[in-house]
Amino acid sequence: MSSPLVVVNFKTYASASAETAVKLVEAMERASVKGVTLVACVSAFDLSSTAEAASSVQVWSQHLDPVGLGGFTGWLEPTTAVARGAQGSLINHAEHKVEMDRVSALLEMLPEGFPVCACAADVDEARTLAALGPTFIAVEPPELIGGDVSVTTADPAIVSDTVAVVKSVNPNVRVLCGAGVKNGADVAKAIELGAEGVLLASGVTKAQDVDAVLADLLASF
């Protein structure tokens, strides 16, 4: 997966859950352009229905746990997620932090080539995650998540510094940025700072005109 990414985290927003999750994936399908990978990170409840609606859009789980089939009540078991359509996963999002050993254990048990985006709050956490070798690291200062100011404006250095640190530890790990990303200008600035894509949520999931927002986000590519 070498193309730039636009990853939309559906979280558990009413505008991106159950039937509305399917509609949002359909909008992402309409917006899809050659050369950019669009990713929908959906609730585990919505994996099957959104995967059925997707063709060019990738469907990822918002979280997975390093457990197997068996007595693990309430955990998100990876092989079932894959069977229900998950093509990748987030891990360690600011709203669902985990210990580093759980990230490592998950990466070891997933199928080869299964993409994982590990989220980092800062450069130091990104450095630690890079040593574990996820496919992607998304740097997202938690204080900016869900806000109106993009990280690319509020703290551009954290993006460029994360890119430099991650590449020095593991040049194969690709870096995304998120927190407050809302429009094409934010995406363009992220790419300028060295990121290879963006992770966003409310800018798309709460948009009044989703088609227009997606078109604007992808215009930079």
CATH number for the domain running over 5-219: 3.20.20.70
Calculate mean pLDDT across residues 65-80.
97
Report the alpha-carbon distance of residue 79 to residue 10 in Å, rounded. 21
- DSSP labels for 128-181? HHHTT--SEEEE--GGGTTSSS-HHHH-HHHHHHHHHHHHHH-TTSEEEEESS-
Residue 191 near residue 169, CB atoms below 8 Å: no
| Angle, CA 108 vertex, CA 168 and CA 104 arms, to 5° | 55
Report the alpha-carbon distance of residue 44 to residue 28 in Å, rounded. 19
Tell me the pLDDT tens digit for each residue of 94-152: 999 999 999 999 999 999 999 999 999 999 999 999 999 999 999 988 776 776 767 77
Calculate mean pLDDT across residues 179-194.
87
Within a 10 A sphere around the Cβ of 30, how many other Cβ atoms? 12
Asked whether the predicted pLDDT for residue 57 surpasses 70, the reply is: yes
Asked whether the predicted pLDDT for residue 192 surpasses 70, the reply is: yes
Of 5, 19, 93, nearest to 50 by C-alpha is: 19
Q: Specify the 3-state DSSP secondary structure of 58.
A: strand
Active site residue 108: no
Of 54, 16, 40, nearest to 207 by C-alpha is: 16
pLDDT band at 69 (very low <50, low <70, confident <90, very high): very high
Tell me the pLDDT tens digit for each residue of 194-218: 999 999 999 999 999 999 999 999 9
Active site residue 140: yes
Of 150, 220, 205, 159, nearest to 179 by C-alpha is: 150
pLDDT at residue 1, rounded to an integer: 60
Region of residue 197 (left: phi > 0; alpha: psi -120 to 50; beta: else): left
- Active-site residue identified among 93, 95, 96, 143: 93
- Active-site residue identified among 140, 143, 192, 196: 140
pLDDT at residue 153, rounded to an integer: 74
